[in-house]
Amino acid sequence: MSASRSNITVPTSAAPGKTSEVDVLIVGAGPAGLMAATWFARCGIKARIVDKRGTKIYNGQADGLQCRTLEIFDSFGFADRAWKESNHMIEICLWNPNSEGVLRRSDRIPDTIPGLSRFQQVVLHQGRIERFFLDSLKEHSDIRIERGVMPEKLTFNEEDAEKEDAYPIEVVLQHLSDEEMNPEQSKSTAGAAVSDGLFRSNLAPDDTEELLQQAAAKGRTSSRETVRAKYMIGCDGAHSWTRKQLGFALEGEQTDYIWGVLDIIPITDFPDIRVRCAIHSANSGSIMVIPRENKLVRLYIQMTTTEKGGATVNRSNITPDMILKAANKTLAPYTLSYEYCDWWTAYQIGQRVGSNFSKNERIFLAGDAVHTHSPKAGQGMNVSMQDTYNLCWKISNVLNGVAERSILKTYQSERRRIAQDLIAFDHRFSRLFSGRPAKDVMDETGISMEEFKNAFEKGNLFASGVAVDYGSSLIVAKPGSSAEQGDGTDVEQKSDKLRVIGKQELASNIKLGMRMPSFKVLNQSDARPWHFQEVLRSNGKWRIVIFAGDLSKKEQMDRYKKLGEALAAPTSFLHRFTPAGKPIDSVIEILTIHSGPRTEIELHDFPEIFRPWSKREGWDYWKIYVDAPSYHEGFGEAYKNYGVDAAKGCAVILRPDQYVSWLGNLEDVQEMDHFFSGFMKVRN
């Protein structure tokens, strides 16, 4: 494509209709697109989100939710809905043949490593998760999913890419007629032919409204419009139209493993049917059991019809009966049948990563558009949502005038690296899971069950999503090369003067580049316990967490007061980066956790900058916390668990997505200033 005003599109004869402008256009309303829209809703960004499908999905599809995904949901206020409706994954049982070849349970391991997160991995179908996003969008914004709307032509004016207020993107959208947009769901899954009655019985009550709206839209006929946008995000799946327009490749390969999937209410004498199981039979393939909500169980079943040697197998011939037969072979001597099937499919594993995640940091790709892999580790939907969770606070910060465009390059650096790691993990895991178990140590073509168990346990840490460790960059002040720690993109802080390195030694369990862990602390004003992550809502604000230490010691209180004075000074970075007339916590919020004792210090002993006053609401009672025992929910021991010195404390800068940017002492105000000055815009 040419550098200036290139048309990246298939030709169309229709004339575009009305033209309008929007800050961000999101293409695709699956989990990645909905996560993007949710960020924009919370940050007050003018965004539109379109999807060619006529409705959201109602069953089947992705189902695993990682610990980290639940933490993110909670930062938007709806993890509780997922937690309540989902099935919780507690234990994994490994089944494989004993020395006589008889299937038996060889191991039990916890599904989520205890202590890793306040959430554990759960399972809930994608349709419900989309519902939570839709309700959240409705509650917090005017952004609504525009369904039956398909992009048809993309024009990108590359010359304007670095002009801040330009609209370098132009997209022609086609509004589909009712016939055109339905029924995508049953077409897209191989032979999914669940009857209408079953389909309807799976609807939750709060989905009804949407179906009614859809019915109301009937009779609408095709029409076109043109949208001019500052930014665009392609969340349009593995066959991404956006990616194709940009000419970017999805690099990798198809494997020769074919798997069947059944979502059923099982009738069986297999004792662990309500437990996540990895079952290796001696010679009849493998099964993964994923117990789900509403009495359902998902079974991933290896199909023995696979042709050897990488030849493409025709999976369109596979039926539920064939999958069930394969399952019974693997499970023998146990038996499995069902009366109720909610959904089923068959798939072949492909492992691919996108060559580029953005075009000039104006058009971005996310989710399946830039990575595909096997579904069995329950990663896909999570990594997709975390792509746009990483991206869209950055776009919002830029659009809201908080940050320079330079931060946008960190999206590819951070997320393409994650996608590469994911594919490597999936490759290893799929091979171990799809292989025949070794008969003994001499059986070299078989898979060692000990190796499988170890990989499974390590994989669980990876799969939790909390192990994500973003590399050094202008927004993560850690040592080393940004190119090496990311996907190769250069995202260094360019100014030597502004480049700072966080002091990791001040908080052994608050890791630069990783998400802030959560322990319980009490609100100083009312003694209520909060998991500290609950206070770190996703609203686009940067945060400085002041571990104030032991304020009953005069020397420490003096350090804290001195920090307060520096922050409150009219020339402080806090004032410089906050627009005049806006609340002092509107760009950077300061939170305090002191180490107590809670009852020996009064709220009004804290300097005012740490509990800002407003004319209408008086003092702010939600900024100061204490590490102390609660009456009803135990003792979080936050200082101990964060690895922070309870006497002297430290200061932590957190990104709007709760990842740790910097660590330092209470005196390091100049370093904080340098860090923020590296990408923030002076407003005052």
**Residue 106 in contact with a second copy, rule: CB under 8 A:** no
Token pair listed for 27: 């293409």
- Nearest approach, Cβ of 456 to a second copy (angstroms)? 16
Token pair listed for 344: 């089923």
Contacts (Cβ under 8 Å, ≥6 apart) of 256: 306, 307, 308, 309, 310, 311, 313, 348
CA 173 – CA 446 distance, rounded (Å): 53
Which residues, in sequence order, are bridge partners of residue 107? 94
Whether 666 and 658 have beta carbons less than 8 Å apart is answered as: no
Q: Residue 216 — left, alpha, or beta (φ > 0 → left; ψ -120 to 50 → alpha)?
A: alpha
Determine the residue type at 365. L
Cα torsion for 488, 489, 492, 495, to the nearest 10°?
130
CA 436 – CA 422 distance, rounded (Å): 23
Determine the residue type at 528. R
Q: Out of 23, 63, 368, 668, pick the active-site residue.
A: 63
Between residue 203 and residue 222, which ones bind a second copy under the rule CB under 8 A? 205
CA 416 – CA 240 distance, rounded (Å): 16
Token pair listed for 574: 């806090």
**Residue 527 in contact with a second copy, rule: CB under 8 A:** yes
CA 346 – CA 24 distance, rounded (Å): 36
Shorter beta-carbon distance to a second copy: residue 87 or 677: 87
Binding residue for a second copy, selected from 15, 526, 570, 600, defined by CB under 8 A? 526
Token pair listed for 144: 């609504």
Between residue 597 and residue 626, which ones bind a second copy under the rule CB under 8 A? 599, 602-604, 615-619, 621
Which residues, in sequence order, are bridge partners of residue 94? 107, 278
**Residue 523 in contact with a second copy, rule: CB under 8 A:** yes
Is 543 a known active-site residue? no
Is 375 a known active-site residue? yes
**Residue 494 in contact with a second copy, rule: CB under 8 A:** no
**Residue 295 in contact with a second copy, rule: CB under 8 A:** yes
Binding residue for a second copy, selected from 44, 46, 91, 503, defined by CB under 8 A? 91
> Per-residue x/- mask for a second copy, residues 568 to 597, rule CB under 8 A?
------------------------------
Shorter beta-carbon distance to a second copy: residue 108 or 200: 108
Shorter beta-carbon distance to a second copy: residue 18 or 632: 632
Contacts (Cβ under 8 Å, ≥6 apart) of 58: 127, 185, 199, 202, 203, 207
- Sequential DSSP letters for 539-553: SS-EEEEEEEE-TTS
Query: For a second copy, which stretch binds (CB under 8 A), given 145-153, 265-273, 300-308, 654-662?
Result: 265-273
- Nearest approach, Cβ of 599 to a second copy (angstroms)? 7
Q: Out of 53, 292, 315, 559, pick the active-site residue.
A: 292
CA 323 – CA 346 distance, rounded (Å): 9
Cβ count within 10 A of residue 612 = 15
Token pair listed for 364: 């971005």
**Residue 630 in contact with a second copy, rule: CB under 8 A:** yes
Q: Residue 676 — left, alpha, or beta (φ > 0 → left; ψ -120 to 50 → alpha)?
A: alpha
CA 188 – CA 203 distance, rounded (Å): 19
In terms of Cβ atoms closer than 10 Å to its own Cβ (0-12, 13-18, 19+), residue 471 is: buried
Shorter beta-carbon distance to a second copy: residue 18 or 616: 616
Binding residue for a second copy, selected from 84, 239, 553, 582, defined by CB under 8 A? 84
> Per-residue x/- mask for a second copy, residues 338 to 367, rule CB under 8 A?
-xx---------------------------
Is 300 a known active-site residue? yes
Binding residue for a second copy, selected from 214, 525, 665, 684, defined by CB under 8 A? 525
Reply yes or no: is the peptide bond before residue 517 cis, omega within 30 of 0.
Answer: no
**Residue 265 in contact with a second copy, rule: CB under 8 A:** yes
**Residue 641 in contact with a second copy, rule: CB under 8 A:** no
Binding residue for a second copy, selected from 139, 164, 492, 555, defined by CB under 8 A? 139
Q: Out of 375, 437, 529, 656, pick the active-site residue.
A: 375
Binding residue for a second copy, selected from 8, 16, 88, 348, defined by CB under 8 A? 88
Determine the residue type at 603. L
Binding residue for a second copy, selected from 59, 75, 255, 268, defined by CB under 8 A? 268
**Residue 99 in contact with a second copy, rule: CB under 8 A:** no
Q: Out of 300, 389, 470, 560, pick the active-site residue.
A: 300
- Nearest approach, Cβ of 324 to a second copy (angstroms)? 14
Is 231 a known active-site residue? no
Query: For a second copy, which stretch binds (CB under 8 A), given 351-359, 391-399, 527-535, 542-550?
Result: 527-535
Shorter beta-carbon distance to a second copy: residue 348 or 523: 523
Buried/exposed 436-454: b ≥16 CB within 10 Å, e otherwise: bbbeeeeeeebbbbeebbe
Shorter beta-carbon distance to a second copy: residue 210 or 368: 210
Shorter beta-carbon distance to a second copy: residue 22 or 41: 41
Contacts (Cβ under 8 Å, ≥6 apart) of 458: none
> Per-residue x/- mask for a second copy, residues 321 to 340, rule CB under 8 A?
------------------xx
**Residue 112 in contact with a second copy, rule: CB under 8 A:** yes
Residues that bind a second copy (CB under 8 A): 80, 84, 87-88, 90-91, 108, 110, 112, 114, 120, 138-139, 205, 265-269, 271, 273-275, 291, 295, 339-340, 523, 525-529, 599, 602-604, 615-619, 621, 630-632
Q: Which residues are catalytic?
A: 63, 292, 300, 375
